[in-house]
Amino acid sequence: MSFVQNFPFFTIILSLICAVVSFVLSKNASKWVSVALLSISSVLNLAVLVYCSQNNTDFTYMMGHFPAPWGNELAAGVFESLMALLFAFVMLMSILGGASHVEHDVAKQRRHLYWVMVDLTHAALMALCYTNDIFTGYVFIEVCTIASCALLAVRGGGRVLIASVRYMIFALVGSGLFLMGVVFTYSITGHLLFPQLREAIALLWRDGSYRLSMTVAIGLMSVGLAIKAGLFPFHFWLPSAHGRATTATSGILSGVIVKGYLFLLIKIIYRVVGVEVFHASGVQNVLLIFGVAAMVFCSAAAVGSRRLKTMVAYSSAAQIGYMFMGLGMGTEAALIAVFFQIISHALTKPMLFLASSSLMDSCGGHQDFRSLRGAGHRNKPAGFLFTVGALSMVGIPMFIGFIPKLHFASAAFGMGWRTWAVLGALVISTLLNVLYFLYTAMLLWLPVNDDNRPSFNGKSAWRHAAPGLALAVLGMAIGLQSAPLAQLLQQGIALFCR
Amino acid sequence: MQELLNHLNNLPFNYEEAVAVILFAIGLSMLLFCRNLLKKVIGLDVMDAGIFLLLADRGYITGRTVPIIVDGVTEMEYYINPIPAGLVLTGIVVSVSVTALMLSLTVRIYKTYRTLEIDKLYIMMTNWRKGERE
């Protein structure tokens, strides 16, 4: 066994240790512990990715050396390590970019607890990426919910409290449904580990017994995770939660946590249920229809929103629709498009949140569109970042947002009524994106007379924008040269769907 | 359809499961539709209790005993399945911590607004928004 195979476990246990240590440290030290943790975790996950990709292999890791049907396992392959790397890196950039806002938004005596919660969220996400056991998945879903709710509520203030209660209520409905699905699956099959579950489910489905119960279980798990990820029509908590939180939390919530749940759902579809059974159960079409509806309705809601951050958050809900639509299409090409979409959204959305907060700062804290007019001239780096993000969200070629749209469109052909649903939703959603993102981006660069504006110190703006710029550069690199990543995803699919 | 009818015929023998699922449904609808925050928290606990009842019931096998070896009997046939009990314990821990978090949020909302009715909170929020716009 290679030493690299320990790394997935290290990322989880290291973040749990860091959370405990941060609890007793001072607020500044605990911040640097989180930064160090996320950097180390990125490096470890990169090592696992390189190991899996070069040897073209995946591996399972026994916890405590109990063999398969009894023990708990971690599994790592190209997809798992790629997602873990993406989550760790995006979280790192979000907290680096949002650190100054955290100091402003969070009360001094509670500030070190914020970093404890960042560590715990990271632990939960790593466990969601690497776990090979469905009940462990449930437990870490709840850890992730609690930690992210604390990240949201820590800002204080009445409206944030209401947003966090809404967030909690929908998250709890989702995890209740998911747990019920797990219990159903366990009582039908008697297993909790993914490989054993998959064998048992395939056998039962061929047999024809328990089909109805299995369909209900698949439906409960998918709907539960869809509610937690904020799929239309259960997205009402999302704009208030993502839009009201402090900047770093907004980036983490919309850039990373939503995808943690989504990746668990992908693992359940492809490694537990099996894509054939998932297709036959009919749940696939439900995801497709709600994904398409999310793309249209949430984009329309974004056009109607009056605040900048709410608009960006509604656009997240629409982008989540793209991902569920891809899962509903069910082909391998569509799965590649889903992963491109996950990567593109995770890199772009935190950047947009960082840029919007910076722009708000330069307008004296206002975020209605009237105050934002010409804000790009006052805060050039943030205006530049927002423009890059907006162009990427619209799907202009050369920017990263173009790649998933291209893949979705080319995957859609030859699927009967689905082709028209997917292509129609792509067109409508892109047009609406043009309407609200390009409109906002142009608004930022309108020439205005700045005499009666609050003064803004532009010197530190470039320093604050550096993490956002890193995300932008990475996004541009993938947007210009997506072939190596596509190759990696192809390799991942071959390992993942085996 | 035939499968559904077969399931319904078994209902009198599986009444524990039926009760558990009904509890789950009651809890879920309380969590979604009650307009009072405290009732929502109660609904959450009822929902979790339903799931745990179902899980504990799946692990019990009539006529067998707890999986603690006494008198050197090691045959599997004498003992019930201990895994669901372990899962229920884990689930209870999760449920307690989630309830604690919800209750603390509820307390803070009551301290800020002096009300637990969601409708009143929303009315306040919309009033603020109007104020912001003007």
Q: Which of residues 118-137 of A touch B (CB under 8 A)?
A: 135
By C-alpha distance, the chain B residue nearest A148 is B101
Q: Each residue of A185-227: pLDDT tens digit?
A: 998 998 899 999 999 999 999 988 888 889 999 999 999 999 9
Report the pLDDT averaged over residues A415-442. 89
Residue B74 contacts A, CB cutoff 8 Å: no
Residue A304 has pLDDT above 90, yes or no: no
The mean per-residue pLDDT over the stretch A392-412 comes to 91
pLDDT of res. B39? 94
Contact A401, A344 (CB under 8 A): yes
Asked if A160 and A153 count as a contact pair (C-beta separation under 8 A), the reply is: yes
Average pLDDT for A478-498? 89
pLDDT for residue A452 is more than 60: no
Contact A255, A318 (CB under 8 A): no
> Band of the pLDDT at A274, cuts 50, 70, 90?
confident
Residue A362 has pLDDT above 90, yes or no: no
* Strands of A173-260, DSSP E: none
Structure-token match 């934002």, residue found: A372
pLDDT at B41: 94
Distance in Å, alpha carbon of A190 to nearest chain B alpha carbon: 10
Q: Give me the domain span that covers residue B9.
A: 2-133
- Percent of chain B scored above 70 by pLDDT? 93
pLDDT reading at B134 higher than 60: no
DSSP state of A57: -
Set of chain B residues whose Cβ sits within 8 Å of the Cβ of A169: 31-32, 40
Please indicate if any CB of chain B lies within 8 Å of the CB of A180.
Answer: yes
Residue A355 scores a pLDDT above 60? yes
Chain B positions touching A135 (Cβ under 8 A) are: 87, 90
SS (H, E, C) A471-482: HHHHHHHHHHCC
The minimal CB distance from A161 to the residues B27, B32, B108 is found for: B108
Q: Residue A325 pLDDT more than 90?
A: yes
Residue range A382-386: mean pLDDT, rounded: 90
Pick B54's closest partner by Cβ from A153, A173, A183. Answer: A183
How many other CB atoms sit within 10 Å of the CB of residue B134? 5
Name the phi and psi angles at A433, rounded to 5: -60, -45
Q: What is the pLDDT of residue A135?
A: 93
Can you give the CATH number for the domain in which B26 is found? 1.10.287.3510
Is A346 in CB contact (< 8 Å) with chain B? no
* Burial B58-88, CB ≥16 within 10 A → b, else e: bbeeeeeeeeeeeeeeeeeeebbeebbbebb
pLDDT of residue A432: 92
Question: How far off is chain A from B29, nearest CA to CA, in Å?
Answer: 9
Domain count, chain B: 1
The partner residue sitting opposite B101, judged by closest CB among A168, A183, A186, is: A168
Residue A346: closest CA among A268, A288, A263: A263
Residue B77: pLDDT above 60? yes
* A92 Cβ contact partners less than 8 Å away, ≥ 6 residues apart: A35, A38, A39, A42, A467
The predicted pLDDT at position B133 comes to 58
Task: Please report the pLDDT score of residue A457 as a whole number.
Answer: 60
CB B112 within 8 A of CB A153: no
**A342 band by pLDDT with thresholds 50, 70 and 90:** very high
What is the average pLDDT score of chain A? 89
| Beta bridge partners of residue A193, listed in sequence order | A133
Residue B51 has pLDDT above 90, yes or no: yes
Average pLDDT over residues B105-131: 83
Would you state the pLDDT for residue B131?
Answer: 66
ipTM of predicted complex:
0.92
Q: Can you say whether the dihedral through the CA atoms of B38, B39, B45, B47 is positive or negative?
A: negative
pLDDT at A451 over 60: no
Give me the mean pLDDT over the A418-439 stretch. 90
Q: For residue A341, give the nearest of A265, A420, A259 by alpha carbon.
A: A259
Overall residue count recorded for chain B in this entry: 134
Mean pLDDT of the region A117-132 = 94
Percent of chain A with pLDDT over 70: 98
A129-174 pLDDT, tens digit each = 999 999 999 999 999 999 999 999 888 777 888 889 999 999 999 9
Return the pLDDT at B61: 80
Residue of A nearest to B34 (CA): A169
pLDDT of B4 above 80: no
Statement: residue A70 has pLDDT above 70: yes
